[in-house]
Amino acid sequence: AKYDVTSYRTTVLKYGDKHEVIGTESENKLTNSLLKLISKDVKVFYFVAGHGEKRIDNKEENGYSYVKEAIERENHQVRDLLLVNVEKVPDDAAVLVVSGPETDYLPAELDKITAFVKKGGRIVFMVDPGGLPKLTSYLGGFGFELTNDLIFDKTSQISGSSIAIPVVVQYDKNHPVTREFEQFSFFPFARSVHIKEEPAKGS
């Protein structure tokens, strides 16, 4: 009960005042948990704010508070970032997240994102369908074509969901992000994205 163990075949790793609770089925999970316990580095995830993005302190349907809690359970920190108020993306940023902005970004803000990318920074872009021509054009410079459409998936109706909520059931088992995915994933009101083979030079 102390470590919230609720099932058999569970392993608890403890180091100092930190602990990890994992199953015994995956060597990869065991290794990652050991690394987290002994690592002194704390990764900081910055969520860009100021343009109607999904808020990390909001527990409503469109809020990302549960995402924040999940990241913090991995011993990382989560913070808001107003790009317009800073000279650059902070040096301690492990990941920059753009989570569904409703208004377009200013050129100066995009320049700060570019500088972050050029020094090896990692970014997650989540852009809802429609609008945002500057951000759409910006991503196009990196080879990502965001089409002005909406995906409809008839198979979603089988699970009792809406046709406008595509369901993904097959994943790339060779990719580190999706190789352990086993459950269905739903993407409400998603647009299609195409990857250009040869993005513009200098982008």
78 vs 69, 71, 72, CA distance in Å?
A: 9, 7, 7
3-state secondary structure of 185: strand
Residue 45 has pLDDT above 50, yes or no: yes
Q: For residues 96 and 117, give the distance between their C-alpha atoms in angstroms, rounded to a whole number.
A: 10
Residue 200 has pLDDT above 70, yes or no: no
Beta bridge pairs of residue 12: 21
Q: What is the pLDDT of residues 106-135, one digit of tens each?
A: 999 999 999 999 999 999 999 999 889 999
Q: What is the pLDDT of residues 76-110, one digit of tens each?
A: 899 999 999 999 999 999 999 999 999 999 999 99
The distance from CA 189 to its chain's CA centroid, rounded to whole angstroms, is 17
Q: Which residues of 50-71 are buried (b: 16+ CB within 10 A; e: fewer)?
A: bbebbbbeeeeeeebeebbeeb
Q: What is the pLDDT of residues 152-199, one digit of tens each?
A: 998 877 767 789 999 888 899 998 888 888 888 888 889 999 988 765
Beta bridge pairs of residue 13: 20
What whole-number percentage of the chain has pLDDT above 70? Answer: 95
pTM here is 0.75
Listed residue (99, 80, 98, 100) closest to 90, CA to CA: 80
Q: What is the DSSP letter of 103?
A: S
